[in-house]
Structure 1
Amino acid sequence: MSDQPSETPSAPTHDEAHGGALGARLNWLRAAVLGANDGVVSTAGIVVGVAGATDDRGTLLTAGLAGLLAGSMSMAAGEYVSVSTQRDSEKAALALEKRELREQPEAELAELTELLEQRGLSGEVAREAARELTERDALRAHARVELGIDPDDLTNPWHAAAASFVAFTCGALLPLLAIVLPPADWRLPVTVLSVLAALALTGWSSARLGSAAVGPAVVRNMAGGALAMAVTYGAGTLLGAVGV
């Protein structure tokens, strides 16, 4: 035969394993960029809004720190809950597959063969590949081919929560420092320019990581951040004028 069972897409070659690991790293990088972007926009909105009402450094620092802590904790908690749910679903799917392999092995072998045929293998090669994969590790074979899950690399909610916390905090530090460190007359322009530059960078990074057009992503990101700061600054100015 010209085709060999080892060529099946479910058999993890070095290149496939490397590609899967690279894809996972890119997903983490995209999540980190988006988390940092959220930190920049939300904290900038808070401190610029407060700056519209007062130029007191202590008040600005307190508001910025409160926004940073609240946002980072919210991001971490949300990511933990989301990834925990995903992990529970993966574990339940693996448990069900393990039971089916124990109770109806022939049916599962036929199912694996059919799945391999759908990936482009001929019937004979698919049957041989399914038998070899089943003899090697039936659960792993079905998990990878049927469920798209690596049993040894389930999602970790603690890692996801920590990554979200760190990413948001790093993004939030920029507008916080930009609003409290310069002299009073320079705080707003320094903050606005710093935030827009950071949003241009995160927009560029997210576009490159997602293989999308860079220009529209950068413009959208900067426009959204500018709108958020304009709205909150206007609200802060109005509230400060009426003495609220």
Structure 2
Amino acid sequence: MIRLDNLSKTFFKDGAKIEVLRGLNLEIARGESLAMLGVSGAGKSTLIHILGTIDHPTGGHLHINGLDVFEWDEKKKARFRNATIGFIFQFNNLLPEFDALENTMMPALIGKMSRKQAASKAAKLLGEVGLEHRLKHKPGELSGGEQQRVAIARALVMEPEIILADEPTGNLDTETGKKIEDILIEMNRTRKITLVVVTHNKLLAERMSRRIGLRDGKIYDYE
């Protein structure tokens, strides 16, 4: 499903070379749930952005479904990303001028789905995450937990094979975070979506089928 081959990422700052990721090799199976842990600055978010084809590696390869995705031009990568990968971020990245339904529809509209079909799918997904009564509420009218539920529905609207979640509960209180965890776990179990979660939350990590750590730009088994 996902395979990293000797993947690296290097930055240069004030003339100094910073190796964020160093020769990573990793395989993630279809339908697996994987937690990625490590201290701040370990390269977790950089890696998840590369997995999502938002950022580019300096060296090595990323294969998704056997395809070397960084051989493609930006337009082809964008189409693939919208169809195959759903994203959930710590601060949800909802568009404040649009309501919950419109935010959830956005990837489908970008993917050329009809507005009627996109609205129907979005409404169904928002109902599944318990927001059927909040379709016309804008982000500023929703609680933090409700905003994150909209983000989950948005991530699912294109029926992606992969969900990448970067600290999905990091901005929420414990009780609300647990509810979001439950939705993610159920989504992985029932939809067989490959789920990769960056988190500092060890309780969430323990609910994943596998855990890895990042330290000094390298992967290690986290148990």
Q: Give the TM-score, by structure 2 length.
A: 0.30
Q: Which has the higher contact order (CA 8 A, sep 6+)?
A: 1
Q: Give the TM-score, by structure 1 length.
A: 0.27
Q: When you count strand as a share of all residues, which structure comes out higher?
A: 2
Whichever of the two has the greater Rg, that structure is 1
Q: When you count helix as a share of all residues, which structure comes out higher?
A: 1
